[in-house]
């Protein structure tokens, strides 16, 4: 009896093998593999100039579609500070040559009055500023306003132009006047100096983007400190000072988005030389670094470091602990040199219509040196709630509490993540 064929002979088996290889080929090498992004389309702009929105996205031109990270596109848009991404898609071009990156954005509110209230052991300070974080639709920054400082007042304003085109620098100019009852304090917020002071400050800066992540700047400044009479001064300087300053800074920065929190990796190094017109000259070296790493989406490591070295700096020009990236020292603390670090964990909590709320816990340590307190080492813990704005062009609002274990001192803080 003749045996019936199985139905999968050599020919049919070959066809199955070819079909299998074709399936594997399509799976491992999708039809768009090798195709690149050749165009970018952005919609949703009202006030912002198209070139401003396109600039951070040009790095994706020429990139292969299958290697594109959508989170990186979100990070580039959010890093402008004035735009919020609503959707990111890839579409075919009509001529069939390459792919288009189709992006829909929403502009954040950029023009607003900002009331400011600070309450501390020295009393209450109130005031307000008018701010435009997208002036002329160019992502430029403008601010003007003033504050009542209890026993004094301050007023100032400035404008910062952001470089848009390749080969063109950005620039910034600002000026302030203040009349204050100055208190320099120790780690427990006790006065170590107390005197009355008028301050006049003007500055001009020029910045140049050398490449996508590297930026350099040159700055010039004028500062005048005028001592006023006081009945009960404490360790007051002998005289005022007037200086002309020139400085340079180089910085690198990268941004990442994990779907919940916008993280950064940045480092900066700066040097300033102050020429004393009626006082001795002095140098200041500064360095800062930030490393934020998403461990899992919405949960990240937060490392910040800061250093200031300013030999021979007069008391009138000593630095605050903000330069050391720590919150365990009072804001009125004053010293010549700092070296500080903060290591923490930040957790996304939930998203609201106007932004994202997160909580941060950190351990901080800092070395400081000043002529009155000498060498000091402090360490402690800090916690903060941060609200990252999605509709308002302010990076973040923060409420914090810190405990200096060495000084056994607790203090609260309010922060606004914006600088000019």
| pLDDT, position 151 | 77
**Whether the domain at 33-107 and the domain at 111-416 fall into the same CATH topology:** no
What CA–CA distance (Å, rounded) separates 290 from 295?
16
Angle at CA of residue 294, ends 338 and 263, nearest 5°: 60
pLDDT of residue 354: 84
Per-residue confidence in pLDDT tens, the chain, 420 aa: 333 333 434 443 443 333 333 333 333 334 444 589 999 999 999 999 999 999 999 999 999 998 999 999 999 999 999 999 999 999 988 776 789 999 999 999 999 888 877 665 556 778 899 999 999 999 999 999 999 977 789 999 999 999 877 778 999 999 999 999 998 999 999 999 999 999 999 999 999 988 878 999 999 999 999 999 888 899 999 889 999 999 999 999 999 999 999 999 999 999 999 999 988 999 999 999 999 999 999 999 999 999 999 998 999 999 999 999 999 999 889 999 999 999 999 999 998 888 899 999 999 999 999 999 999 999 999 999 999 988 888 878 889 999 999 999 999 887 776 665
- Helix and strand counts by DSSP (H, E) for the chain: 3, 19
Which pairing describes strands 397-404 and 374-389: parallel, antiparallel, or unpaired? antiparallel
Question: Which fold does the domain 33-107 belong to in CATH?
Answer: Ubiquitin-like (UB roll) (3.10.20)
Question: Rounded to an integer, what distance in angstroms lies between the CA atom of residue 235 and that of residue 28?
Answer: 74
Q: 417, 397 in Cβ contact below 8 A? A: yes
Per-position DSSP letters for 339-386, written without gaps between them:
EEEEEEEEEEEEEETTEEEEEEEEEEEEEEEETTTEEEEEEEEEEEEE
Phi then psi dihedrals of residue 189, to 5 deg: 65, 25
Predicted confidence at residue 389, as pLDDT, reads: 86
Structure tokens at 17: 């093998």
Q: How far is CA 197 from CA 201, 237, 339, in A?
A: 13, 10, 28
Token pair for 129: 């500023």
Instruction: Give the pLDDT score at 380.
Output: 97
H/E stretch holding 387: strand 374-389
- Compute the distance between CA of residue 285 and CA of residue 398 in angstroms, rounded to an integer: 28
**Assign residue 336 a region: left if phi > 0, alpha if psi is -120 to 50, beta otherwise?**
alpha
CATH fold label, 111-416: Porin (2.40.160)
**Alpha carbon distance 315, 280 (integer Å):** 12
pTM of the model: 0.84
**β partners of residue 159:** 142, 173
**What Å distances lie between residue 58 and 180, 212, 375, CA to CA?**
47, 10, 49
The pLDDT score that the predictor gives to residue 10 is 41
Residue 330 exposed, middle or buried by CB count within 10 Å (0-12, 13-18, 19+): buried
Sorted by where each begins, the domain ranges of the chain are 33-107, 111-416
């Amino acid at each position: 009896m003749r045996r019936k064929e199985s139905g999968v002979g050599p020919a049919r088996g070959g066809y199955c093998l070819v079909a299998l290889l074709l399936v594997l080929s399509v799976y491992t090498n999708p039809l768009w593999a090798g195709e690149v992004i050749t165009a970018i389309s952005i919609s949703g702009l009202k006030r912002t100039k198209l070139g401003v929105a396109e600039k951070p996205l040009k790095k994706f031109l020429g990139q292969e579609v299958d290697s594109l990270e959508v989170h990186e596109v979100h990070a580039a848009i959010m890093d402008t500070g004035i735009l919020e991404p609503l959707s990111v898609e890839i579409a075919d071009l009509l001529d069939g040559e390459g792919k288009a990156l189709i992006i829909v954005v929403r502009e954040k509110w950029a023009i607003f009055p900002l009331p400011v209230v600070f309450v501390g052991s020295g009393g209450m300070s109130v005031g307000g500023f008018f701010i435009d974080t997208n002036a002329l639709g160019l992502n430029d920054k403008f601010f003007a306003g003033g504050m009542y400082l209890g026993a004094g007042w301050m007023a100032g304003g400035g404008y910062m132009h952001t470089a848009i085109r390749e080969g063109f620098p950005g620039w910034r100019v600002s000026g302030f006047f203040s009349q204050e009852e100055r208190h320099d304090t120790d780690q427990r917020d006790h006065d170590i100096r107390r005197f009355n002071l008028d301050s006049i400050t003007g500055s001009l800066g020029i910045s140049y983007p050398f490449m996508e992540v590297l930026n350099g700047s040159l700055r010039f400044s004028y500062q005048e400190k005028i001592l006023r009479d006081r009945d009960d001064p404490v360790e007051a300087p002998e005289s005022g000072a007037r200086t002309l300053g020139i400085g340079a800074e180089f910085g690198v920065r990268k941004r990442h988005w994990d779907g919940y929190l916008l993280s950064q990796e940045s480092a900066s190094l700066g040097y300033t030389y102050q020429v004393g017109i009626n006082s001795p000259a002095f140098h200041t070296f500064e360095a800062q670094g930030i490393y934020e790493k998403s461990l899992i989406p919405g949960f990240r490591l937060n490392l910040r470091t800061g250093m200031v070295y300013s030999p021979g700096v007069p008391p009138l020009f000593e630095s605050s602990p903000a330069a050391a990236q720590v919150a365990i020292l009072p804001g009125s603390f004053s010293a010549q040199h700092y070296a500080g670090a903060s290591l923490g964990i930040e957790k996304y909590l939930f998203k609201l219509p106007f932004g994202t709320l997160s909580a941060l816990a950190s351990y901080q340590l800092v070395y400081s040196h000043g002529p009155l307190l000498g060498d000091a080492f402090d360490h402690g813990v800090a916690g903060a709630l941060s609200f990252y704005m999605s509709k308002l062009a302010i990076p973040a609002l923060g409420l914090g509490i810190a405990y200096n274990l060495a000084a056994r001192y607790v203090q609260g803080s309010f922060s606004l993540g914006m600088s000019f």
